[in-house]
Amino acid sequence: MGDVYVTSPTFVGHDTGSILAIDCHPSGKKFITCGQKARTSNGLVVVWNAEPVLDKKKASNENVPKLLFQVESQSQSNSCRWSPDGKRFAFGSDDSSVSVWEYVGLINSMGSITGGAQNVERYKECCVLRGHSMEVLTVEWSPNGKYLASGSIDYRIIIYNARKLPDRITVLNDIQLPVKGLSWDPIGKYLASLEGDKKLRFWATDSWQCVKSVTEPFESNIEETMLTRLDWSPDGKYLMTPAAVRSGKPLIKLIQRQTWKSDQFLAGHHKGTTCVRAMPRLIEANLKNGKRMQLTCAAVGSRDKSISIWVFPGTLKPLFVINNIFNHTVMDFAWCGRNLLACSQDGTVKVIHLSESVIGEMISNEAMSDLCYQIYSIRPPRYELTDKEEDESQDSFNLSDLSSSANNASFVTCPEDVLIKRKKLVAAQQSSDIQLTKSMEDNSKENESKNSEKTMMEERNKQIDVRKDGKRRIQPVFCGTTTADPMTSLSSEGKKTVAPPPAKRKALAPAVPAKKGEVDLEDSSDSDDDDEEEEEDMEISDIESVRNKKRKVPATTSQPMLALDLKKPALRPMEPKSLKTQEGTVLMEAPEQQPKLSQHVVDRKGMFVEIDNRWKHGGVETTQIKLIKKKQQTAENEDDMMDGERRVNHECLWMAVLGSPVIIVAANKHNVVLGCGDKCLRVYRTFCGTHIVSLRLDSLPVLIGVTEHAAYALTENGRLSTWNLKLGKAVVTRQPLFDCVEASTDNSLISADVSETGVPLIVFSNGSIFTFNVSLSCWIQAITTNVLGRLTSPISDAQLSCSNGTTNSAGPLVRLLKRMRKQATAPGVAPQVVKAVKESQLEQLLHCAEQLGNPQDYQTMLMLYVETLCEGGSEKKLKNILNDLSRSGAPMQVCGLRRSALYDDVTRMIKLKQPAIAARIVAGVAASTTTKSLF
């Protein structure tokens, strides 16, 4: 469609981290994104300049900044929104906090506050709201700017006084499920909340009471995402809510105002809908009968990675659908005029440009204000500005205006602020005569500078042609700078800039050159068991030492970001898998077959497994598997290489051909595991491509994974199998998840992992953790549901990091516990209850760590358990631990750790915490051990 086109601004991203929310500034000149920072559990919030995103010419202009401001949070950021006046933004995070930041001006310096990319704008954190006890999933400002609402997993909605933060207006706690979405009525009468994709509530803003609950559209829905974005139509007549289901088909429900009828819907996506966003104003469309009608234009996103554009009421089909626009779930939308910005969990942003001929003409703010006044006798503040006033307010936002950065005297972030303050004080002490004289001198200098610049520009255009001996020679003309001050402010496009051009960036010396003129993108990793790989690393190391002697290494250590780094995120949160129980079994949905797949090899940067399910050769269509290494091409002479001349070469290390399609892939430095459409799990050696084994499954694979030499597969029938590929034996054989689902009363699988020994570790959405006891051939519940979590104190990340004396060797269980949400202890719980529940949980975790066989997990849980027993004075349990560690006839090691060493560590901990108890326990254990040895 010629009037609709999609662009992908490659410079917008979180360095391969997921982007969970996006919102456009009221001026339309910038937008904000939030999500997760790549390869960490931290959150990232970034303010972007919208001009290079919407205009290709400005995107290529180096003088137009792209990134305006970024701030890193302690945990993943789930939602971000601008205030109606555009002066503040708020974002909610997994650490149960809501942060509010205020714009204070532009930065007139070449430095960066947070490191990495340079900040252009300056913001200050004016308030941190900590009213929730669990993850905050959504934040929304009211249209009039009076309220700020936040929703959380703790089953509460908090309404803050946005004009007097952190004052609260009220807390809405009559809720039974996590609050996943909020939306304010544009008229200001209602606040809509979506609770766990199961119930929709409407709260009256005058009394903060629930006036209506809607459950019918969500009765057959299964929770599939943690975040849901709902929205109202611009005139407030309809609430558009995702996550609705009708006859098993996902759709968007349109809830009518006041009558609360839900008989209208938008259908067409084949997976659950996640977000919907309406244009800020209604559009006027020409009907076939020649009449003009005012309609709502809205965008719908889904888990099927597609976007549909709708106009309603009165339509049964969308205007158009863009299929597979992302590689992951569509998370949020933002409208900048007729341009739609969409973000995805794959860490990218797409821009859909819509012309007026496609969606019609958007009516003016004045017309919207009159329309709302006719219907509700209210003029919403968002429509009070006329079009001219709106344009003026947008024009007032100019990146070249640096004067506003000095207006706020209470916020100092750089030396420029101090200099500005001092200049103000000096200027206040000077008399008006001196100021006038100084002003005249400045004008004289400015005129002199302009004349000098004019003369120099004329000289630049001259070329002296000297002919000598019949030969033509062009004599070069010296071109110096035309300004005295090299530190100039940013200028918008269309204005003459006098900033010096950026220095010519030289290519970096290759860290591990594999071939002449190439830079290997593979990082150095841990030692491998393969002798061949060790020899290859030694050869590469020798080559590196020789090359480094010949080539001069630049002083800088920064490396350019390549497009291949953004192609596949290294760390991406797993999408929850729905579980359907039927006749004593669990049914799951297998991934859809894709024409092509690409999977990064863990611990091998720059190495990817490429799958082509439609590879044709000799007239036969089969599936091709290739392991490729992507390498950055460099020039022989680094001084001659410009920024745009870098290329990436693809080296094929090995290739295989299959007769069945591949639907899911997992790979690490040891093995490549392929889940195929013929119900087989095929394993190849990563180093050489040797086919190790082909395992027949009971049904199609839904999830597969590999950790060191252990692999797992979860099938459509809800059966889990794990293998130790190094030893060539099965650890868990087709164990059903039905028992775990019944015990957890949950229908969503959040995470699945496997230890190095092949023991599985699975997590459900209610917080239950299960592992498998291989000796007893039974599932073990390591952590029960969140009910008991309210009766004890949570395990902090500091305890998990310090229990074994290190912070970098955490096992899979500890890493999982750090990612889990922390619950606050309920008020009025007796200390003995807190102690009993805490000890019971740690005993379960210790047993789970022993089954997983990870030494770091076991040592961490053991020392944390001992520390808790010492604090509670549980002498008998401490004695039982020492008896078990010193038991005669027991294996010398547990989870790869010597029992004697663990005994010494536990004894040392008891002596440190409880010296009196230690003396009695150690003496008793020693006597018991001596007595047993006599017999």
From the number of C-beta atoms within 10 Å of its C-beta (0-12, 13-18, 19+), residue 40 rates as middle
CA dihedral 831, 834, 836, 839 (to 10 degrees): -130
Q: How confident is the model at residue 518 (pLDDT cuts 50, 70, 90)?
A: very low
Helices in 527-641 by DSSP H: which ranges?
531-550
- pLDDT for 56: 86
Handedness of CA 699, 700, 703, 708 (dihedral sign): positive
Q: How confident is the model at residue 99 (pLDDT cuts 50, 70, 90)?
A: very high
Give the DSSP H/E element, type plus range, for residue 910.
Answer: helix 899-913
Strands ordered across the beta sheet of 98-106: 77-82, 88-93, 98-106, 121-129
Q: Which of 209, 142, 202, 151 is nearest to 179 (CA)?
A: 151
Give residue-wise pLDDT tens across range 126-143.
999 999 989 999 999 999
Q: For 648, phi and psi rounded to 5 degrees?
A: -120, 120
- Average pLDDT of the residues in 644-654: 73
What percent of the chain is modeled with pLDDT above 70?
A: 71
Give residue-wise pLDDT tens across range 239-291.
999 988 887 788 898 999 988 888 888 888 888 899 999 999 999 887 777 77
Give residue-wise pLDDT tens across range 38-74.
777 789 999 999 999 998 888 888 888 999 999 988 8
Cα(800)–Cα(807) distance, integer angstroms:
8
- pLDDT for 438: 55
Helix (H/G/I), strand (E/B), else coil: 349: strand
Q: How confident is the model at residue 634 (pLDDT cuts 50, 70, 90)?
A: low
Expressed in angstroms, the distance from the first to the final Cα of the chain is 90
Q: How confident is the model at residue 200 (pLDDT cuts 50, 70, 90)?
A: very high
Handedness of CA 870, 875, 876, 878 (dihedral sign): positive
Helix (H/G/I), strand (E/B), else coil: 826: coil
- pLDDT for 83: 95
Helices in 203-242 by DSSP H: which ranges?
none
Cα(347)–Cα(320) distance, integer angstroms:
24
> Rg of the chain's alpha carbons, rounded to an integer?
32
DSSP state string for 290-341: S-EEEEEEEEEEETTS-EEEEEESS-SS-SEEETT-SSS-EEEEEEETTEEE
Give residue-wise pLDDT tens across range 285-334.
877 777 788 899 999 999 999 999 999 887 788 888 999 999 999 999 99
Range in 32-41, 71-80, 115-124, 848-857 with the lowest mean pLDDT: 115-124
State pTM to two decimals.
Answer: 0.50
Range in 226-230, 308-312, 479-483, 779-783 with the lowest mean pLDDT: 479-483
Which domains can be identified in the chain, with CATH numbers? 225-384 (2.130.10.10), 785-925 (no CATH)
Pairing of the two strands 19-24 and 190-195: unpaired
- Residue 520 or residue 32, greater confidence: 32
- pLDDT for 423: 60
- Average pLDDT of the residues in 771-789: 78
Length of the chain (residues) = 935
Pairing of the two strands 283-286 and 273-278: unpaired
DSSP letter at 304? T
- Average pLDDT of the residues in 453-481: 51
Give residue-wise pLDDT tens across range 875-900.
888 888 888 888 877 888 888 888 88
Tell me: pLDDT of 401 over 80.
no
Cβ contact 141:162 at 8 Å:
yes
Range in 589-603, 686-700, 766-780, 785-799 with the lowest mean pLDDT: 785-799
Handedness of CA 384, 387, 388, 394 (dihedral sign): positive
- Average pLDDT of the residues in 228-244: 92
- pLDDT for 523: 41
